[in-house]
Amino acid sequence: MSKINCIIIEDEPLASKILSDYILQVPFLELKASFKDAILATEYLRTNVTDLIFLDIHLPKLKGMAFLKTLTNPPAVIITTAYHQYAVEGFELNVTDYLLKPIEFDRFLIAVNKVKISRIENDKADSTGESKDYIFLSVQKKKVKVLFADIVYIESQREYIKIVTAKKEYLSKMSTHEIESLLPLALFKRVHRSYIISLKKVESYTAESVEVAGISIPIGRGYKDIIDNL
């Protein structure tokens, strides 16, 4: 997979530097430019193609959401802001993720991995004309086929993950970041550092927990914005 080219639109120097530093730590990302306002970014996008925009909402001259609405064929967009109340509007505009400041690196990694997954899925669909509905997991020295439709939730257990399906449970030696990169973004969401849930299995939720196939899963502090957009 080729690198994901990205730009930053952020008027706070410290916030822009943090994003730049994070991008440098991710091998599949390449920062092409940074802008203090959306007008300058608009000029850049007229003659350059980008795969991903890190977009602040409160910008001078042209606000982030207003800028986003001007894009006819927008690339992937990750909103970065200190204000959670814009989350719903952001997802209505089909943004990939919504990061609340101060942004932790692990939460940043989750967001950019979503862009990576989407890129991989699109590449596969382009090359094969179809997408897989299963994954093979290493379980006790065997490769076990698990259907996405059967997965209820996934739980981190130190160096292992527990995959709970409608039929049985599996333990596989991998991280939640690794399994998340292999799951379809449209079917699964991380709601806690230790939990990934199947959206189709969600029965109800509150601000603190989500019930998935009769099982209560806690919602992490940094993931409350995600649950409101199930």
Query: Is residue 9 pLDDT above 50, yes or no?
Result: yes
Query: What total of structural domains would you count in the chain?
Result: 2
Most confident of the following: 18-22, 99-103, 181-185:
18-22
Q: Which domain holds residue 221?
A: 132-227
Q: What is the CATH number of the domain that holds 154?
A: 2.40.50.1020
Query: Is residue 90 pLDDT above 80, yes or no?
Result: no
- Boundary (domain end) residue, out of 125, 150, 182: 125
Tens-place pLDDT, residues 94-119: 788 889 899 999 999 999 998 998 77
pLDDT on residue 93: 64
Query: Is residue 124 pLDDT above 80, yes or no?
Result: no
Same domain, 222 and 154: yes
Q: What is the CATH number of the domain that holds 62?
A: 3.40.50.2300
pLDDT on residue 225: 67
- Boundary (domain end) residue, out of 125, 141, 166: 125
pTM of structure: 0.56
Query: Is residue 222 pLDDT above 90, yes or no?
Result: no
For the chain, what percent of residues have pLDDT higher than 70? Answer: 86
- Boundary (domain end) residue, out of 105, 125, 145: 125
| CA-based R_g, the chain, Å | 18
